């Protein structure tokens, strides 16, 4: 083989030598092309080089060439088996969902009248049971999130307030971890409006994460009536929705404050949409909002949705629109009452303190007095009330003898002993 290669190389035309100093790029490229043409495929085949390479490849990979084909056939068989098993499982699940309704399910799905094995009746039962299962993960944890309201005249309108980015601001840093800041005026905001509303705080976070934050907003539980968390939201298309229908309250007397329009898209007519708080310490929007909520809560309004329409539809925003209308109201009141003669009651000293005062301002003056008395009581007895509450929790934990360790050790009291303890 080597002799044939030498003979073929000797018989090939030689390339003339060119001095290196005078060789151009074009000459170099032409020379390399000629050399490539000398060792072409025919010459290599004639010398037996290609056949030897193919034989070496065959010896090297011949023993393992059959293995990938066998493995691919096994993979195809497994894939077919998996598809068959998946089809059987889906068919079994569909047949289980399409089974006739039980007595309890007939009350849950009263619209399903067909209870036979026709296609339409079976398909309706499959859909109803499937979406009922999905709703158990996306719907609120309870159908009624709040207990029944007090009977008239003790009931009050309900004010739902978003916690995140409205009352507090949360941030995470690598240096400090999670930090939460309260918005300026939030304590006064909650304490003052508790005179007029049943306040419900609504957080987008889970209860395990946000319960401590809500507790710090009202440690005495004197302003906030209830607190709801992410478990009480409705999850649709990647959005957490606060469905007010699950509050167990009359929507005519429910008002919600929020910063996310998507969260209140089911009842936008009940919402006052506000700007997000970004953590600035000179913010005064909560205090600016108090007169509007005070006037809405103090009046016997039948439908709060009609009362907030002028502010929700304004392009200037809720606060700017209210302050503009409040200014016009003051000017109108001053113009109509400037030439009014003093009444007999004012001359006799009856109600002289509120003579010439707008109803809104009279309500505010009286409410300020009530809040001052409330604040004085909190300052005087607040610390003691917190200590008593903490002591009650400790006593309840100490009296709870049925611990997990006793259950695991088998040291559990008999039903007779439990009955004696209860008595």
Question: Using CA atoms, how far apart are residues 333 and 349, in angstroms rounded to an integer?
Answer: 22
Query: Kind of pairing, strands 158-162 and 254-258?
Result: parallel
Structure confidence at residue 273 (pLDDT): 94
Q: Record the tokens describing residue 231, joined without a space.
A: 């478990």
Classify burial at 13, counting beta carbons within 10 Å of its beta carbon; exposed 0-12, middle 13-18, buried 19 or more.
exposed
Q: What percent of the chain has pLDDT over 90?
A: 38
Average the pLDDT over each of 153-162, 245-254, 365-374, 404-413 and give the range with the smallest value. 404-413
Question: Using CA atoms, how far apart are residues 158 and 242, in angstroms rounded to an integer?
Answer: 14
Question: What's the 3-state SS for the chain?
Answer: CHHHHHHHHHHCCCCCCCCHHHCCHHHHHHHHHHHHHHCCHHHHHHHCHHHHHHHHHHHHHCCCCHHHHHHHHHHHHHHHHHHHHHHHHHHHHHHHHCCCCCHHHHHHCCCCCCCCCCHHHHHHHHHHHHHHHHHHHHCCCCCCCCCCCCCCCCCCCEEEEECECCCEEEEEECCCEEEEEECCCHHHHHHHHCCCCEEEEECCCCHHHHHHHHHHHCCCCCCEEEEECHHHCEEECCEEECCHHHHCCCHHHEEEEECCHHHHCCCHHHEEECCCCCCCCCCCHHHHHHHHHHHHHHCCCCCHHHHCHHHHCCCCCHHHHHHHHHHHHHHHHHHHHCCCCCCHHHHHCCCHHHCCCCHHHHHHHHHHHHHHHHHHHHHHHHHHHHHHHHHHHHHHHHHCCCCHHHHHHCCCCCHHHHHHHHC
Each residue's pLDDT tens digit, 203-212: 999 999 999 9
Question: Using CA atoms, how far apart are residues 182 and 188, in angstroms rounded to an integer?
Answer: 12
Structure confidence at residue 201 (pLDDT): 97
Question: Using CA atoms, how far apart are residues 297 and 253, in angstroms rounded to an integer?
Answer: 9
Question: Using CA atoms, how far apart are residues 210 and 229, in angstroms rounded to an integer?
Answer: 8
Structure confidence at residue 339 (pLDDT): 61
Nearest alpha carbon to residue 37 among 62, 60, 12: 12
Average the pLDDT over each of 117-131, 295-309, 355-369 and give the range with the smallest value. 117-131
Each residue's pLDDT tens digit, 393-423: 787 777 665 555 565 566 666 666 666 655 5
Residue 67 has pLDDT above 60, yes or no: no
Nearest alpha carbon to residue 299 among 372, 360, 227: 360
Average the pLDDT over each of 55-69, 162-176, 354-368, 386-400 and give the range with the smallest value. 55-69
Question: Using CA atoms, how far apart are residues 171 and 176, in angstroms rounded to an integer?
Answer: 10
Spell out a b/e string for 173-208, using b for 16 or more CB atoms within 10 Å of the CB, else e.
Answer: eeeeeeeeeebbbbbebbbbbbbbbbbbbbbbbebe
Residue 29 has pLDDT above 50, yes or no: no
List beta partners, residue 168: 164, 182
Average the pLDDT over each of 69-83, 147-161, 268-282, 299-313 and give the range with the smallest value. 69-83
Structure confidence at residue 117 (pLDDT): 67
**Is residue 183 within 8 Å of residue 281, measured between CB atoms?**
no
List beta partners, residue 254: 158
Question: Using CA atoms, how far apart are residues 104 and 365, in angstroms rounded to an integer?
Answer: 57
Question: Using CA atoms, how far apart are residues 294 and 314, in angstroms rounded to an integer?
Answer: 20
* Helices 285-298 and 186-193, axial angle in degrees (round to 10): 0
């Amino acid at each position: 083989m080597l002799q044939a290669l030498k003979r073929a190389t000797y018989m090939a035309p030689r390339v003339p030598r060119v001095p290196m100093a005078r060789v151009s790029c074009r000459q170099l490229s032409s020379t390399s092309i000629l050399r490539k043409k000398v060792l072409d495929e025919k010459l290599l085949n004639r010398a037996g080089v290609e056949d030897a390479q193919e034989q070496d490849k065959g010896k090297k990979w011949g023993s393992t060439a059959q293995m990938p084909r066998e493995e691919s056939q096994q993979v195809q068989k497994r894939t077919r088996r998996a598809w068959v098993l998946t089809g059987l499982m889906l068919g079994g699940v569909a047949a289980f969902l399409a089974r006739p309704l039980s007595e309890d399910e007939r009350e849950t799905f009263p619209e399903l009248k067909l209870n036979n094995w026709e296609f339409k009746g079976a398909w309706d039962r499959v859909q109803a049971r499937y979406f009922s299962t999905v709703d158990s993960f996306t719907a609120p944890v309870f159908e009624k999130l709040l207990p029944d309201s007090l009977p008239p005249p003790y009931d009050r309108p309900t004010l739902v307030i978003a916690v995140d980015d409205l009352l507090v601001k949360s941030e995470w840093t690598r240096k400090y971890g999670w930090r939460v800041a309260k918005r300026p005026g939030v304590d006064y905001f909650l304490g003052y409006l508790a005179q007029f509303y049943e306040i419900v705080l609504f957080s987008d976070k889970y209860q395990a994460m946000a319960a401590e934050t809500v507790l710090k907003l009202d440690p005495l539980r004197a302003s906030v009536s209830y607190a709801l968390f992410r478990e009480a939201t409705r999850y649709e298309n990647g959005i957490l929705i606060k469905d007010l229908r699950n509050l167990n309250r009359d929507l005519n007397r429910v008002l919600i404050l929020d910063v996310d329009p998507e969260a209140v898209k089911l009842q936008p007519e009940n919402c006052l949409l506000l700007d997000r708080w970004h953590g600035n310490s000179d913010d005064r929007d909560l205090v600016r909002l108090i007169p509007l909520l005070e006037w809405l809560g103090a009046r016997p309004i039948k439908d709060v949705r009609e009362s907030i329409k002028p502010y929700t539809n304004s392009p200037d925003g809720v606060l700017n629109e209210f302050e503009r209308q409040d200014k016009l109201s003051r000017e109108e009141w001053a113009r109509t009452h400037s030439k009014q003669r003093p009444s007999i009651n004012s001359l006799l000293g009856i109600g002289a303190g509120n003579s010439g005062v707008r109803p809104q301002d009279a309500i505010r003056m009286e409410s300020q007095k009530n809040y001052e008395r409330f604040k004085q009581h909190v300052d005087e007895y607040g610390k003691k009330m917190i200590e008593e509450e903490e002591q009650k929790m400790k006593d309840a934990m100490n009296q709870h003898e049925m611990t997990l360790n006793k259950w695991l050790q088998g040291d559990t009291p008999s039903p007779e002993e439990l009955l004696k303890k209860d008595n």
